[in-house]
Amino acid sequence: MNQHASVSKPWIVVVGGFLGAGKTTLLLSAAQELEKRGLRSALILNDQGDALVDTELSALHGLNHGEVTGGCFCCRFSDLIHEIDALRQHSPDVIFAEPVGSCTDISATTLLPLREYTETYRLAPFTVLVDPARARELLREDGEANMKFLFHKQLQEADILCFTKSDLSQDYPEIPGRSVRQISAKTGQGVAAWLDEVLSGNLSAGSRVLDIDYEEYARAEAALAWLNLHVDIELTEAASPAVVLGPFLDRLDSDFTASGIIIVHLKAIIQSAAGFVKAAICANGEEPAVEGTLDASPSLKHNLLLNLRVLGKAELVQKIVERNLDSIDAHFSDLEISCFHPSPPKPERRVTDAPHALRVS
């Protein structure tokens, strides 16, 4: 695809992967690569709740974006179509769509229904991203059963599989029967080649459709506690965003570990007039991946967004977060916090009889 491609039928590129696989990071990097080619892109985020760190990060990167909240793409398919249509006013060549990281059965409930819109859009093959460290954990016999179920189903239905974070590790576990590309959004390795492949028109979208037990799927998702927090902070003494966020996340990590709560994915972004800092971790005790204005000047006023996905009871998770927020010497306003276990998925559409699709179980 080149800069002369028509935008009358933009590409829809759905990119899935387990929590913390690096979906948003890759798509922001891919948007920069497309911009170098003279192409416009947009991004649709997806979450079970509201107040998304990734939506805020997309805005800070100047990317046209939309979001589908309150459920996965499968359960909010009409909302997804609405967001895709709304983004067309920006004349994008490519619209990326990032489903919730705990979701699967995307081919049957999102990709194949999207094929009915091919007079308006072009549909790219479904890419699933894989964090090598997460794969090593969940491919083991003793991996957590609910997370293993979700992870394996995501692998099974991918049209394209990509290991991410290749700048951090070259130790890739074997995924039986599948070839896997390597990508690093941080260094740019493999990003251009991946874009060339998904936008070539040579691969089918939704080529692998799951046989899946929706009762087991619901139990696996419900094992996760899902917390979103948004709050304005006015400190008693000025501090930089990094100085506020770092100790807060360290205390959360320590308290979750002491309580036997397993961090699956934690993302936070804090902003002041001087800049922003975004941090993410995918396991207890892990050093955060950090970006932003680490040398920002001290400020009294900050805005904090926290998205947290853990294995634990929602009530306890919220208490720990609230207790640690209160430990910041500050006045809080416009506090919004929700913590819950996801409801059973109920797809608007589910197509399983596509003639080109392989049924996998």
d(CA 239, CA 204): 51
194 and 238 in a single domain? The answer is no
Q: Which two tokens stand for residue 143?
A: 């991996």
Do 239 and 216 lie in one domain? The reply is no
- 156 and 299 inside one domain: no
Same domain, yes or no, for 88 and 138? yes
Does any domain span residue 2?
A: no
121 within domain boundaries: yes
Asked if 215 and 310 sit in the same domain, the reply is: no
By mean pLDDT, which of 63-67, 174-178, 218-222, 298-302 is the weakest? 174-178
Q: Residue 3 domain-assigned?
A: no
79 is a domain residue: yes
CATH number at residue 271: 3.30.70
Closest CA to 114 of 82, 160, 77: 77
Percentage of residues of the chain with pLDDT beyond 70: 98
Q: Residue 3's pLDDT band (boundaries 50, 70, 90)? A: very low
Q: 214-222 vs 145-157: helix axis angle to the nearest 10?
A: 120
Clarify whether residues 147 and 102 are in a common domain: yes
Q: Is residue 6 part of a domain?
A: no
Tell me the per-residue pLDDT of 305-316, one tens digit each, with 9 for 90 and over: 999 999 999 999
* Predicted model pTM: 0.94
Residues 243 and 280 in one domain: yes
SS3 of residue 357 by DSSP: coil
User: Between the CA atoms of 132, 142, 341 and 231, what dihedral angle is there, to the nearest 10 degrees?
Assistant: -50
Tell me the two tokens of residue 183.
Answer: 């990508």
| 42/121 same-domain check | yes
Contact, 312 vs 260, CB < 8 A?
yes
- In this structure, the answer to whether residues 249 and 181 fall within a common structural domain is no
Per-residue tokens: 89: 């006013």
Does residue 228 form part of some domain? yes
* Residue 105: domain span: 11-221+345-360
4 assigned to some structural domain: no
In total, how many domains does the chain have?
2
For residue range 135-176, what is the model confidence (pLDDT) as tens digits?
A: 999 999 999 999 999 999 999 999 999 999 988 878 899 998
